[in-house]
Amino acid sequence: MLYHLFTYLDSAFDIPGTGLFQYISFRSGMALIVSLVISMIFGKKIIQYLQLKQVGEIVRNLGLEGQMQKQGTPTMGGLIIIASIVIPALLFARLDNIYVLLLVFSTLWLGAIGFVDDYIKVFMKDKKGLHGRFKIMGQVGLGIIVGSILYFNSSVVIRENVVPEFRFTTTDALLEIDAINRGNDAVVKETVKSTKTTIPFFKDNEFDYSVLLKWMGNGYEKWTFLIFIPIVILIITAVSNGANMTDGLDGLATGTSAIIGVALGVLAYVSGNVIFSDYLNIMYIPNTGEMVVFIAAFVGACVGFLWYNSYPAQVFMGDTGSLSLGGIIAVFAIIIRKELLIPIMCGIFLVESLSVMMQVGWFKFTRWRFGEGRRIFRMAPLHHHFQLLGYHEAKIVQRFLIVGILLAVISIITLKVR
């Protein structure tokens, strides 16, 4: 919003300083600051309001140390996170950018699903919340929308190297002549629609989803959406649920999401910058640099929320926040074609989810096979296992965050380690 206003003021009146809004770095910094201010200052007002309305957490007694002390702690704090992300994004990002609009929409969509779930738990006194199938339906619906837009929208493109059949002699807004020459033809960078993504640790690290349908014969490329959209649905559902499962200790999901956000911001910046992408020999995706403004607000919201959510927590994000955070991470990674990095970058979410699946699967199998259910972990998700081993909640969170930082660094260095 402010970008468009100050661009007009700069062009119409040449007011000193208005040109600053042309720089992604400046607007990202401002988005980060504003998101911190909203989450830290206005967040306190929201917490007081939640306390006034007695919007407290209903805690099940699982026998964990200090667990029952959290009874009545305000929940639905995800409203703070959503406001701290959406408001700065709308203020400082370009609102004609399809990627920014898609991220804002995803935030509000999953935030609404989480809000309904928290509302049922708190106000209707139903500990189960929104039925699982309705959550999945909401996540699948978002996956269909996001996948369809990314596949069919003409603004979603990448730039590839091609050798034209003609001798390039004119200037075109969509073409750039590379310095490399092949015989009489120059290598041209052409903006094209593509379903390619990035495979980490491989030198020639681009993979086209359409290859999976090559067995269909001629014209198979036009059916790629049958593969692409289900993959988007799977990723969004998996990551948002992974973030939801990770949200079990004070500051764990929030801190982990902030670390992942920083890594995504670095990847988006280099992917959307023609100079850096050329130097690193990675896929250049036009207009994704603008997403850095959004992810800066995301990181600021997470860090600001940690002011109140770190141990001992004064507020919980609830599903309102955890589903939104996971969904944002998933959609962001898909847009910048780094979704295959998610198992590394979101390793904490992955391990937490796997611990639950392993625990449930093994319990059901042993009950069927031996007549009694057995467990792999003392309790799932994994962070509760460590609690029952005697580790303090704050120490578990700190160590998980250290692992998260390591995974984020590994994700970033995949730009060069191929």
Q: What is the pLDDT of residues 248-261, one digit of tens each?
A: 899 999 999 999 99
Question: Which pLDDT belongs to residue 69?
Answer: 66
> Which residue's entry shows tokens 């007009």?
8
Q: Are residues 162 and 309 in the same domain?
A: no
Omega cis (within 30) before 286: no
Between 161-165, 241-245, 297-301, the lowest mean confidence (pLDDT) is in: 161-165
Please list, in sequence order, all residues whose beta carbon lies within 8 angstroms of the beta carbon of residue 152, skipping any fewer than 6 positions away: 225
Q: Are residues 237 and 313 in the same domain?
A: yes
242: in domain: yes
Please say if the pLDDT value at position 5 is more than 90.
no
Tokens of 298: 């995301």
Averaged pLDDT, 131-152: 95
Burial 117-133, CB ≥16 within 10 A → b, else e: bbbbbbeeeeeebbeee
Residue 204's pLDDT band (cuts 50, 70, 90): confident
At residue 172, the pLDDT reads: 45
Instruction: Say whether both 318 and 238 belong to one domain.
Output: yes
Q: Which two tokens stand for residue 361?
A: 């699967």
Q: What DSSP element (H or E) covers 188? A: strand 185-192
Greater confidence, 202 or 381?
381
What pLDDT, on the 0 to 100 scale, is given for residue 192? 85
Which residues on adjacent β-strands are paired with residue 207? 197
| Residue 22 to residue 9: CA distance in whole angstroms | 12
Q: Which residue has the higher pLDDT, 230 or 128?
A: 230
If you search the block for the tokens 């026998």, which residue do you land on? 63
Residue 20: CB atoms within 10 Å: 13
Entry pTM = 0.91
Average pLDDT (313-329) is 93
Q: Tokens for 398?
A: 């700190």
Compute the residue count for the chain.
Answer: 418
> Which of 342, 373, 396 corresponds to the end of one domain?
342
Question: Are both 178 and 137 inside the same structural domain?
Answer: no
The better pLDDT of the pair 49, 72 is held by: 49
Q: Which pLDDT tens digit goes with each residue over 350-366?
A: 999 999 999 999 999 99
> What is the C-alpha separation between 57 and 64, in angstroms, rounded?
16
Reply yes or no on whether the pLDDT at 176 is more than 60. Answer: no
Tokens of 63: 């026998």
User: Both 245 and 318 in a single domain?
Assistant: yes
Q: pLDDT: is 203 or 210 the higher one?
A: 210
**pLDDT, position 162:** 55
Say whether pLDDT at 246 is over 90: yes
pLDDT at 205: 79
In a domain, 416, yes or no: no
Q: Read off the pLDDT band of 328 (50, 70, 90).
A: very high
Query: Do residue 180 and residue 233 come from a single domain?
Result: no
Q: Are residues 146 and 238 in the same domain?
A: yes
Q: Find the mean pLDDT for residues 191-202.
A: 89
Residue 83 has pLDDT above 60, yes or no: yes
- Residue 33 clears pLDDT 70, i.e. is over it: yes
Among 192, 209, 238, which residue terminates a domain? 192
Q: Considering only residues 178 and 371, tell me which one the structure prediction assigns the higher pLDDT.
A: 371
How much helix, strand and coil, in percent to the nearest 5, is found in the chain? 65, 5, 30
Give the per-residue pLDDT at 61. 58
Helix H or strand E segment including 108 = helix 98-123
Give the separation between CA 130 and CA 127, rounded to whole angstroms.
9
65-72 mean pLDDT = 66
Greater model confidence, 281 or 33: 33
Mean pLDDT across the chain, nearest whole number?
A: 87
Shared-domain flag, residues 107 and 135: yes
- Which pLDDT belongs to residue 64? 67
Band (pLDDT 50/70/90 cuts) for residue 13 is confident
Asked if pLDDT for residue 245 goes beyond 60, the answer is: yes
Q: What span, in angstroms and rounded, lies between the C-alpha atoms of 113 and 331?
A: 16
Does 370 fall in a domain?
A: no
- Who wins on pLDDT, 64 or 90? 90
Q: Taking residues 164-190, what's their average pLDDT? A: 47
pLDDT of 239 reads 97
Residue 60: CB atoms within 10 A of its CB come to 9
**180 lies in which domain range?**
158-192
The verdict on 74 and 177 lying in the same domain is no
Residue 393 lies in a domain: no
Q: Which of 163-177, 318-332, 373-387 has the lowest mean pLDDT?
A: 163-177
Q: How many domains does the chain have?
A: 2
Asked whether residue 336 is assigned to any structural domain, the reply reads: yes
Q: Are residues 178 and 38 in the same domain?
A: no
Q: What angle do CA 339, 103, 317 make, to 5 degrees?
A: 95
Whether residue 103 is found in the same domain as residue 140: yes
* Residue 299 in domain: yes
pLDDT, average across residues 12-17: 79
Q: Are residues 153 and 90 in the same domain?
A: yes
Of 342, 367, 396, the residue at which a domain comes to its end is 342
More confident of the two residues 110 and 160: 110
Confidence (pLDDT) at 57? 63
**Residue 198 belongs to some domain of the structure:** no
Check whether 373 has a pLDDT greater than 50: yes
Res 266 pLDDT > 60: yes
| 226-237 pLDDT tens trace | 999 999 999 999
Average pLDDT over residues 165-171: 47
Look at residue 300 and tell me if it is in a domain.
yes
